[in-house]
Amino acid sequence: MNQPALQLSNLTKRFGERTAVDNLNLNIEAGCFYALLGHNGAGKSTTLRMIAGLSRPDFGNVRILGQDMAIHPEAAKQPLAFLPDEPLLYGKLRPLEYLEYVAGLWAIPALQAEARARELLEWTDLWKHRGEYCEGFSRGMQQKLALCGALIHEPKLLLLDEPLTGLDVAAARQVKDLLQAKVREGCTVILTTHILEVAEKLAEVIGVIAQGRLIAEGTLTELRERIGRGDASLEDIFLHLHDEVAA
């Protein structure tokens, strides 16, 4: 049987008195396009940061393709890439230099890195800007370049925190197409978004968290069944679930 791409068991994170992630259990199959939704402050970014190994859980554990992040962090991190909501780029580097730098961190041989970087830059329409410094890039261009950096080592699990925020229509389409292509290749994609139409159209499985707890999970059809409305939009479902929690 294939390993799940991601298993979270009783994952918990506190900041002082505040519990940001509360006993979260998730099991995400390999090759799944998963959207994690929730209001501001629900605990989405904190969850992604723990999955990426950037923040240590207070309790519970993270397994990436069967590897426990606390026990074998290097093996657990190897197949994953994390695109934070505000990616860090180096302004004084040009796109190819940036991608070659990231490839170097993954010990990708130079020739392979160069070919891969070119392919990604062409795919995202940044190849024509290869002579320019990143500091002059618009937010959308920076976001696309950061995504190229996340993809340079061909990750099997891609975590994206609000990847479409601030992108224009064309750039958002490019990123969505790229993510769908990655899923077709067998990559698992987990993204957070406040753009519910994106989750509705792209995600096979949707998880909704509130106050750090998973309050619902399933396909759109399953979530519609859960609230007893076959014609509900994801926005209807999302608001209904939060009303339930608040009641």
Ligand X SMILES: Nc1ncnc2c1ncn2[C@@H]1O[C@H](COP(=O)(O)OP(=O)(O)OP(=O)(O)O)[C@@H](O)[C@H]1O
Give 99 or 196: the residue with its C-beta nearer to ligand X: 196
| Selected binder of ligand X within 3, 18, 56, 91 (CB under 6 A) | 18
Q: Supply the minimum distance, in Å, between the C-beta of residue 236 and ligand X.
A: 20
By C-beta, is 79 or 84 nearer to ligand X?
A: 84
Task: Read off the tokens for 68.
Answer: 């426990």
Q: Tell the residue number behind the tokens 């995400």, with chain if given.
A: 28
Residue type, 38: G
Q: How many residues bind ligand X (CB under 6 A)?
A: 11
The H-or-E segment that residue 77 falls in is helix 73-77
Strands (E), 43-103: 59-64, 67-68, 80-83
Name the CA radius of gyration of the chain, rounded: 18
Among 24, 32, 35, 42, binds ligand X (CB under 6 A): 42
100 vs 161 by CB, closer to ligand X: 161
Q: Which of 7, 35, 45, 143 binds ligand X (CB under 6 A)?
A: 45
Span 115-174, contacts to ligand X by CB under 6 A: none
Q: How far is the CB of 207 from ligand X (least distance, A)?
A: 12
Contact predicate 64/4, CB 8 Å: no
**Which of the stretches 39-47, 136-144, 179-187, 233-241 binds ligand X when contact is defined by CB under 6 A?**
39-47
* Burial class of residue 152 in the structure, from the number of CB atoms within 10 Å of its CB (0-12 exposed, 13-18 middle, 19+ buried): buried
Contact between 20 and ligand X by CB under 6 A: the answer reads: yes
Backbone angles phi, psi at 137, to 5 degrees: -75, 145
Answer yes or no: are the C-beta atoms of 126 and 141 closer than 8 Å. yes
- Measured CA to CA, the distance from residue 191 to residue 201 in angstroms comes to 13
Give yes or no for residue 46 binding ligand X (CB under 6 A): yes
CA pair distance 149, 142, nearest whole angstrom: 10
Select 20 or 198, whichever has its Cβ closest to ligand X.
20
Closest CB to ligand X among residues 43, 207 = 43
Among 40, 74, 88, 221, binds ligand X (CB under 6 A): 40
CB of 181 to ligand X, least distance (A): 26
Residues binding ligand X (CB under 6 A):
15, 18, 20, 38, 40-46
